[in-house]
Amino acid sequence: MTMNRRQFAASAAALCTLPHSRGGFAGAYPDRSIRMIVPYPPGGGSDAFARAVAPVMSDVLGQQVYIDNRPGASSIIGATAVAHAAADGYTFLLGDMSTYSTNRTLFKKISYDSFTDLTPITLTARFGLILVVHPSVAATTLREFIALAKARPEPLSYGSPGVGSPHHLAMELLSKRAGIQLNHVPYKGDGPAMQDLLGGQIPVLISSLASASQHMKTDKVRAIASTGAARLQQAPQVPTIAESGIAGFDAWAWQGFAAPAGTPPPIIHTLNQAFAKAATNASVRQRLADLGGELTPSSAEAMHKHMRSEADVWAPIIREAGISLV
């Protein structure tokens, strides 16, 4: 078949009207399955959240959102994989405070830049942290805890799920604000730390609410205060550090979604709205409550600002305390 000049021009004009972008976004998105990289191992809190929200996002998007666990190096392995992925909307990251805000200070060298290699999609959730003590500790309030720490000839030891974790950093901030000396005992996760608190090997623990709540109910541990500016929805009886005398204290473990830099804004918007709809799902909300979390869907710009503000808050704390992961 021979095409005359008028037919050729009409065909070329039609082709020029097809959607296109730098990231390879063409036509309806998504048209195939989407990978959510979780930079932590199966079975943990991040993985549990991802597996709760992925099926609901799949329903919203009309394509499967599947989990790809890439654990290691305080989420650096997973974050780097996303940073180097195609900016086409088919790979995105469930990262956290370490991924987006504190790794850049905790590590002298890092294989990605959260501000330039990743594009925020939305904040997803925040998780309450809680200061708990063994029942033998002679303190029932934060004021009594601070007084006890100041009266001791040696620093009071406390456990956390690991060096540089949000829990560790929250206690370093408390130590600075309260003017007390504390000795950090890092563990590999909440579980081992809680077991040692229950057994009396350590007197104090900064824990996730999910790990502590069942033991609080049976009086095996005593809750002193929570770290956020607002009381935890699942433990409203526990006062905050701020209302207990350390004004302005506000520390949470938090998470968010991000895509490779250069991902087209329409795709970012689509993923943002998919999570916003998933956040209204009753099963997702219940699962987050079970994990001690609160859903925090946001705009991409709000997540961008939060990442930077958290980096600014924690960088001096990390440097002053001499915390390093390399």
Q: Does 277 map to a domain?
A: yes
Instruction: Indicate if 52 and 107 belong to the same structural domain.
Output: yes
Concatenate the DSSP letters of all residues of 182-244 into one string.
Answer: EEEEE-SSHHHHHHHHHTTSSSEEEEEHHHHHHHHHTTSSEEEEESSSS--TT-TTSPBTTTT
Instruction: Indicate if 167 and 80 belong to the same structural domain.
Output: no
Instruction: Indicate if 54 and 101 belong to the same structural domain.
Output: yes
Concatenate the DSSP letters of all residues of 67-104 into one string.
Answer: EEE---TTTHHHHHHHHTS-SSSSEEEEEEHIIIIIHH
Contacts of 234 (CB under 8 A, 6+ apart): 128, 209, 213, 289, 292
**Structure tokens given for 202:** 């350590």
Instruction: Indicate if 55 and 97 belong to the same structural domain.
Output: yes
| pLDDT string in tens for the chain (326-residue length) | 444 444 434 444 433 333 333 344 446 999 999 999 999 999 888 999 999 999 999 999 999 999 999 999 999 999 999 999 999 999 999 999 999 999 999 999 999 999 999 999 999 999 989 999 999 999 999 999 999 999 999 999 999 999 999 999 999 999 999 999 999 999 988 899 999 999 999 999 999 998 999 999 999 999 999 999 999 989 999 999 999 999 999 999 999 999 999 999 999 999 999 999 999 999 999 999 988 899 999 999 999 999 999 999 999 999 999 999 97
CATH classification at residue 174: 3.40.190.10
Contact indicator for 229, 92 with CB cutoff of 8 Å: no
CATH classification at residue 58: 3.40.190.150
Instruction: Indicate if 267 and 119 belong to the same structural domain.
Output: yes
Instruction: Indicate if 136 and 210 belong to the same structural domain.
Output: yes
Which tens digits make up the pLDDT trace of 143-183? 999 999 999 999 999 999 999 999 999 999 999 999 999 99
Q: What's the CA dihedral at 163, 304, 44, 281 to 10 degrees? A: 150
Pick from 226, 244, 263: which residue ends a domain?
226
Contact indicator for 110, 260 with CB cutoff of 8 Å: no
Range of the domain at 163: 129-226
**Structure tokens given for 55:** 């099926």
Pick from 226, 261, 282: which residue ends a domain?
226
Number of structural domains in the chain: 2
Instruction: Indicate if 73 and 162 belong to the same structural domain.
Output: no
pLDDT score at 128? 87
DSSP 39: S
Instruction: Indicate if 39 and 111 belong to the same structural domain.
Output: yes
**Structure tokens given for 317:** 């704390």
Q: 217: exposed, middle or buried (C-beta count within 10 Å: 0-12, 13-18, 19+)?
A: exposed
Q: Does 110 map to a domain?
A: yes
Instruction: Indicate if 77 and 133 belong to the same structural domain.
Output: no
Instruction: Indicate if 210 and 263 belong to the same structural domain.
Output: no
Q: Does 1 map to a domain?
A: no
Q: Does 291 map to a domain?
A: yes
Q: Does 141 map to a domain?
A: yes
Q: Which of 171, 139, 169 is nearest to 152 (CA)?
A: 139
Q: Does 18 map to a domain?
A: no
Q: Does 317 map to a domain?
A: yes
Instruction: Indicate if 58 and 102 belong to the same structural domain.
Output: yes
Q: What share of the chain is helix, strand, coil (3-state, %, to 5)?
A: 40, 20, 40
Q: Does 21 map to a domain?
A: no
Contact indicator for 44, 161 with CB cutoff of 8 Å: no
Instruction: Indicate if 120 and 264 belong to the same structural domain.
Output: yes
